[in-house]
Amino acid sequence: MAYHGYIPFIHKATGAYQTPRILEIGVSSGITLFALLQRLSHTHQAFSYTGIDVLVQGSVRETVRYMSLGPQMGVDLVEENSLTALPRMVEAGRKFDVILVDGDHNYFTVSQELPLVNELSHESTLIVIDDYEGRWSNRDLFYSTRDELEGVEIATPPPSDQSEKQGVKPAVDEFVRAGLGWSALKLMPGEPIVLVHEKTQIFEINTPDEQGPSAESE
């Protein structure tokens, strides 16, 4: 999934920052990455993008290489499992303004990613999680079982003591209920869900019968 319909909203959120910092978990074929880079390169002199995937495709690296980005437009493509990469980022004290979660579509992985995402966030971070609705809402997908990742040893295998809970939705719902100050918002029909912190400085959290948060410059 490529956050179809959400790219303008995500880009608008970056307008609150002079040098936005973006983290994407699950780069895949780079559809979201390319769309964001194209927009950001026209609105910002500087930004940083970090993408994590167990297999960073050569075509993605080549496309980024030929986009002629400015010297302060940093793109870091990390070929690693999110469950090992994210703790290292937390230990390094990194923070991001926008975090996109679209890696392994299963309860086991997402339930471990989100507490780490919380540590990588500040109070005005925008979190967008794909596959909250749709076929992986309450069903597990481990990419390690897909033919295209055969032989990719860093992909997470299904655990032997797998939980009865499955899919992205229960992991997100548990995270929101954990009392960390996050609210879940649906901006439009489709699979993604948006998380905004109650102390955010750049979003107006509207009532449920309104359209959702609107990005505002600081």
Rounded CA gap, 105 and 131, in Å? 7
Rounded CA gap, 57 and 47, in Å? 22
Q: How many helices (H) and strands (E) does the chain have?
A: 6, 9
pLDDT of residue 90: 98
The answer to whether residue 171 is domain-embedded is yes
pLDDT of residue 218: 34
Name the domain count of the chain: 1
Summarised one tens digit per residue, pLDDT across range 64-90 is 999 989 999 999 999 999 999 999 999
pLDDT of residue 20: 98
Residues of the chain with pLDDT under 70: 1-2, 204-218
pLDDT of residue 213: 40
**Three-state SS for 19?**
coil
**pTM for the whole thing?**
0.92
Task: Pinpoint the alpha helices (H) of 66-149.
Answer: 82-91, 107-119
Residue 85 domain boundaries:
7-215
Tokens standing for residue 108 = 């086991």
Tokens standing for residue 28 = 């895949």
The answer to whether residue 1 is domain-embedded is no
Summarised one tens digit per residue, pLDDT across range 10-44 is 999 999 999 999 999 999 999 999 999 999 999 99
**Three-state SS for 50?**
strand
CATH number assigned to the domain comprising residue 181: 3.40.50.150
The answer to whether residue 57 is domain-embedded is yes
Rounded CA gap, 52 and 28, in Å? 9
pLDDT of residue 1: 52
The answer to whether residue 2 is domain-embedded is no
pLDDT of residue 187: 86
The answer to whether residue 208 is domain-embedded is yes
Report the 10 Å Cβ neighbour count for 121: 21
Tokens standing for residue 166 = 């499955």
Rounded CA gap, 144 and 154, in Å? 8
The answer to whether residue 90 is domain-embedded is yes
C-alpha to C-alpha distances, 49 to 55, 89, 95, 126, nearest whole angstrom:
17, 14, 12, 14
pLDDT of residue 205: 53
**Three-state SS for 101?**
strand
| CA dihedral for 161, 177, 52, 148, sign (positive or negative) | positive
